[in-house]
Structure 1
Amino acid sequence: MKKKYKLLLLGLLFDGIGMLSFIIPIIGEFFDIIWAPASAFFIYKMYKGTEGKVASIVSLVEEAGFFGTDFIPTFTLTWIYKYLIIKEKKD
Structure 2
Amino acid sequence: MTRRRGFPLAALQLFRFPDVFIGLIEECVTTPMFSVCINWNPHGFSKGARGLRQGDPMSPFLFVLVMEVLQLMMQQLNDQNEGFSYHWRCKELGLF
Superposition TM-score tier, normalisation by shorter sequence: under 0.3
TM-score by length of 1: 0.28
Q: Which has the higher helix share?
A: 1
TM-score by length of 2: 0.27
